[in-house]
Amino acid sequence: MQLIDIGVNLTHASFAREREALLQRAQAAGVCQMVLTGTSPDDSEAALALCREFDPEGRRLFCTAGLHPHEASQWSADSARRLRDLLGEAPVRAVGECGLDFNRDFSPRPAQERALEEQLALACELGRPVFLHEREASERLLAILRHYRDRLPAAVVHCFTGEKRALYAYLDLDLHIGITGWICDERRGTHLHELVREIPSDRLMLESDAPYLLPRTLRPRPKHGHNEPAFLVAVLEEVARHRGETPEQLAARSTACARAFFGLPQL
């Protein structure tokens, strides 16, 4: 059984001392390929460096390059130039993480929208898929995406946590959906149990979002409390249960979907 984790924050400081061991544990758990998330030009360059360091053959580790909405106030012409350069590198497979976050509003909303639109335009120009972040901003995100969707190869709403109306609207735009350990959270993720049944198999992907969103169904729970790609199996099992599929069936379908979306090689 092979799994692909489409969202790993491997540049996070909490992983600094154990990246090699973490990657080994992931492979032992069946996570054969990963897409490392870039959240700023600096972070995206660091993600690319990790791909080259730990996967010099370029078959297992890939990354995105983008500017997270939390950092949108830092967007500049230099940001655009650096992302364009990064997107010319073979391991970099998507634009992002980019999007809108109207929950925390760490950057002003007009700045978030400008950074998103410029990154969408870059993705259209370069023919790259987009890795999207959205919190409490689905209507505005949809309104912006509609202007670009016909020119975008593909886009995934990473770590989907929204309600039925938002999901259906994203699916109507032919977007992909990423599901994380949020679905394993009995306090806030139970609404996803029904919704994951509605996602077509060719548009559903799985992600850890490590070190965040440790699956609360995991037993035993790690003492350090950090999520990691090896724990993606817990997300797989929870999603499969609510879709009425076996873990093996879901693994095969979500892996095929992720390979097609990011253009990853067969192993």
The pLDDT, as a whole number, for residue 222 is 87
Query: Is 221 found in the same domain as 167?
Result: yes
Tell me the average pLDDT of the chain: 97
Query: Is 106 found in the same domain as 181?
Result: no
In a domain, 16, yes or no: no
In which residue ranges of the chain is pLDDT below 50? none
Q: Which of 107, 131, 154 is the last residue of a domain?
A: 154
The pLDDT, as a whole number, for residue 17 is 92
Query: Is 121 found in the same domain as 183?
Result: no
The pLDDT, as a whole number, for residue 223 is 81
Query: Is 258 found in the same domain as 173?
Result: yes
In a domain, 29, yes or no: no
Q: Which of 154, 177, 209 is the last residue of a domain?
A: 154
Query: For residues 265 and 242, what is the distance between their CA atoms, to the nearest angstrom?
Result: 29
Query: For residues 97 and 123, what is the distance between their CA atoms, to the nearest angstrom?
Result: 12
Number of neighbouring beta carbons within 10 Å of residue 90? 10
Query: Is 132 found in the same domain as 210?
Result: no
pTM: 0.97
The pLDDT, as a whole number, for residue 225 is 85
Query: Is 149 found in the same domain as 234?
Result: no
The pLDDT, as a whole number, for residue 210 is 98
Query: Is 192 found in the same domain as 121?
Result: no
What CATH number is given to the structural domain containing 219? 3.20.20.140
How many domains does the chain contain in total?
2
The pLDDT, as a whole number, for residue 205 is 98
In a domain, 20, yes or no: no
Query: For residues 125 and 20, what is the distance between their CA atoms, to the nearest angstrom?
Result: 35
Would you say the C-alpha torsion 63, 69, 70, 73 has a positive or negative sign? Answer: positive
User: pLDDT digits over 156-197, tens only?
Assistant: 999 999 999 999 999 999 999 999 999 999 999 999 999 999
Task: Find the angle CA(174)-CA(258)-CA(229) to the nearest 5 degrees.
Answer: 125
Residue 94: domain span = 38-154
Q: Which of 130, 154, 178 is the last residue of a domain?
A: 154
Full DSSP string of 144-188 = HHTTTGGG-S-EEETT----HHHHHHHHHTT-EEEE-GGGG-TTT
In a domain, 22, yes or no: no
Query: Is 171 found in the same domain as 101?
Result: no
Query: Is 149 found in the same domain as 52?
Result: yes
- Bridge partners of 131? 96, 156
Query: Is 191 found in the same domain as 124?
Result: no
